[in-house]
Amino acid sequence: MRDFARLRRQMVNTQLAARGIRDPAVLEAMRIVPREVFVPADKVQLAYADSPLPIGQGQTISQPYIVALMTEALELAPDERVLEIGTGSGYAAAVLSRIAKQVCTVERHSKLARTAEARFRQLGYDNIQVHVGDGTLGWAEHAPYDGIVVTAGGPALPEPLLDQLGVGGRLVIPVGPRRDLQELMRVRRSSENGYRQENLGSVRFVPLVGEAGWKARN
């Protein structure tokens, strides 16, 4: 059995802090969430590799640095509520749950959603709610949100997510005209009708599929 606690510390030091992640809450969350729980059994020895890993259903668990970068970009406070689009393995939601008061996460693949829920229960992470549905439409029932993070790349900013962002809230999302290459954008809602955008750099994510995203391919 590998010493996963040591590998987590090493990951935080060499993959995150050394590459510019500074938020102490993000670094601590990444230090305590057991990433090995969120990868397929045949990939557990690669849990702390500096790369994405396949998790089934054509989806991936993002590399640790990208999870940390997007989480830091949300600028979350401990009393805030965050919406995640694309639960996937559940790892990013678990990290968010160690920082924010409440995490709502939406996944379109029911098998992934149910597996993630089981992992949250196993770890005792009881401030995460999972919904199976079209993530491009958000989760209006719990809106507005202080932060929204999207773990798949869309062709444009989804209007439903902009609408569900509270004033002062931050949306972090990969956006681009290609299904396989995006720019990571941070959108701040400055007023009821005002938004400000920042480009945080180029990224590669799986496509954001749904009514306000890419169309599914057969």
Would residue 217 count as lying in a domain? Answer: no
Would residue 84 count as lying in a domain? Answer: yes
pLDDT tens digits in sequence order for the chain, 218 residues long: 579 999 999 999 999 999 999 999 999 999 999 999 999 999 999 999 999 999 998 899 999 999 999 999 999 999 999 999 999 999 999 999 999 999 999 999 999 999 999 999 999 999 999 999 999 999 999 999 999 999 999 999 999 999 999 999 999 999 999 888 899 999 999 999 999 999 999 999 989 999 999 998 76
Would residue 212 count as lying in a domain? Answer: no
| Counted domains in the chain | 1
Catalytic residue among 51, 62, 110, 190: 62
Domain carrying residue 144: 4-203
Would residue 36 count as lying in a domain? Answer: yes
Q: 3-class SS at 121? A: helix
Is 202 in the active site? no
| CATH value at residue 12 | 3.40.50.150
Q: Give the integer Cα–Cα distance in Å for 53 and 62.
A: 7
Would residue 120 count as lying in a domain? Answer: yes
Q: How many CA atoms lie within 13 A of 85 on its CB side?
A: 35
pTM assigned to the model: 0.95
- Which residues have a Cβ under 8 Å from the Cβ of 142 and sit 6 or more positions away? 81, 83, 104, 129
Would residue 215 count as lying in a domain? Answer: no
